[in-house]
Amino acid sequence: MTSHRQTPVPSARPGISMSVKGQPLSMGQGFEALTFRQDRFGGLMDPLVMVDHFVMTEPTFGAHPHAGLSAVSVLFEDSEGLFHNRDSLGNDFTIAPGDLYWLKAGRGAVHDETPLPGARIHALQVFVNLPAARKADAPASLHVPAGQMPVIEGDGYRVRVVLGACNGTEGAVSPALPMTILDIGLTGGGSFTHHVPASQAAWLLAVRGDAEVHTGDTGTLIRQGTALAVHGGNEALPIRIQSVAGAQVAMLQGAPVREPFVHQGPFVMSTLDEIEAVKAAHAAGELGALE
């Protein structure tokens, strides 16, 4: 049985975490990842529970349930081939390089994502917490093709607004809690500034290359495969990202939930009793099935 983790209410005070190196995770012959968990970021990663930065080339997980969270797949543009997505909401289609798929599991859904033969999927898998009052919501989903994502370009930067808004540019809106996801590309010597609204937190990952993250007078280096989290408190926070040699940085931004939760495998609920209840519901077929 997967061990569970009880998480205290994260702090609301502003701050910036240390740079955190992803922990290697390998499954089978076709899945390699660096994984990041919220308990390594001093409470500043909220509303994110975990992020896996992965490459998948073969079927790995099979059909599996989710509940109490949103499971979000962000494919990078250098992915090759297609990702076959199926879930108990009736979705059955392929996700292409650069796309986003957001599954708000709510009270429960069954999901499967599999690379088609010959594919190499380079992506993020993100678990986003839902507040206790939303954990019993009906499941919902959103697919955003890469061609529908706004792109902000300037001297030394190219930014895909995968979801949400950036500096006045509006992208798609999540079916759960509001969130902004940016895929930031910097050339050598390039820099880009994003303004995080008051009371929101941001999490930044160096996908490729090294970058410096500046918040006010503080500058922190994130090397490839490392991440940091930052919360500006009750004031809007400009974040400037720059790179000497060029880099790709993923930024995920949202309002912290600030509630205790239990994370066990594909479930994020408020208590262990709720985890056991949703596992029983899945065993009874109440979370649906793939067609």
The pLDDT of residue 43 is: 86
Q: Does residue 143 register a pLDDT over 50?
A: yes
Q: Residue 1 — very low, low, confident or very high, per pLDDT cuts 50/70/90?
A: very low
Dist CA 76 CA 198 (whole Å): 28
What lies within 8 Å, CB to CB, of 68 at 6+ separation is: 105, 106, 129, 130, 135, 261, 267, 268, 269, 270, 274, 278
* Burial state string for 57-84 with b = 16 or more CB within 10 A and e = fewer than 16: bebeeeeebbbbbbbbbbbbeebebbbb
Q: Give the residue from 50, 66, 82 showing the smallest Cα distance to 252.
A: 50
DSSP 3-state of 180: strand
**Burial of 273 per CB tally in 10 Å (0-12, 13-18, 19+):** exposed
Looking at every residue in the chain, the average pLDDT score rounds to 93
Ligand-binding site membership of 113 (annotated)? yes
Per-residue pLDDT of 38-58, as tens digits, reads 999 988 999 999 999 999 999
Ligand-binding site membership of 77 (annotated)? no
The pLDDT of residue 234 is: 86
Q: Give the residue from 127, 134, 86 showing the smallest Cα distance to 107.
A: 134
Q: Does residue 11 register a pLDDT over 90?
A: no
What dotted CATH number matches 22-283?
Answer: 2.60.120.10
Q: Does residue 63 register a pLDDT over 50?
A: yes
Tell me the two tokens of residue 218. 């503080």
Q: Does residue 12 register a pLDDT over 70?
A: no
DSSP-derived secondary structure letter, 80: B
pTM of the complete model beyond 0.85: yes
Ligand-binding site membership of 64 (annotated)? yes
How is the chain split into domains, by residue range? 22-283
Which amino acid belongs to residue 257? V
3-state secondary structure 58-69: CCCCCCEEEECE
Per-residue pLDDT of 84-130, as tens digits, reads 999 999 999 999 999 999 999 999 999 999 999 999 999 999 999 99
DSSP 3-state of 39: helix
The pLDDT of residue 2 is: 41
Task: Calculate the CA dihedral of residues 174, 72, 202, 38 and round it to 10 degrees.
Answer: 140
Looking at per-residue pLDDT, the higher value among 200 and 1 belongs to 200
Q: Does residue 232 register a pLDDT over 90?
A: no
The pLDDT of residue 125 is: 97
Percent of the chain with pLDDT over 70: 95
The pLDDT of residue 248 is: 98
The pLDDT of residue 3 is: 46
Q: Does residue 14 register a pLDDT over 90?
A: no
* Cα separation values, 255 from 79, 176, 240, 250, 289, Å: 29, 12, 20, 17, 32
Pair 184, 248: CB distance under 8 Å: yes
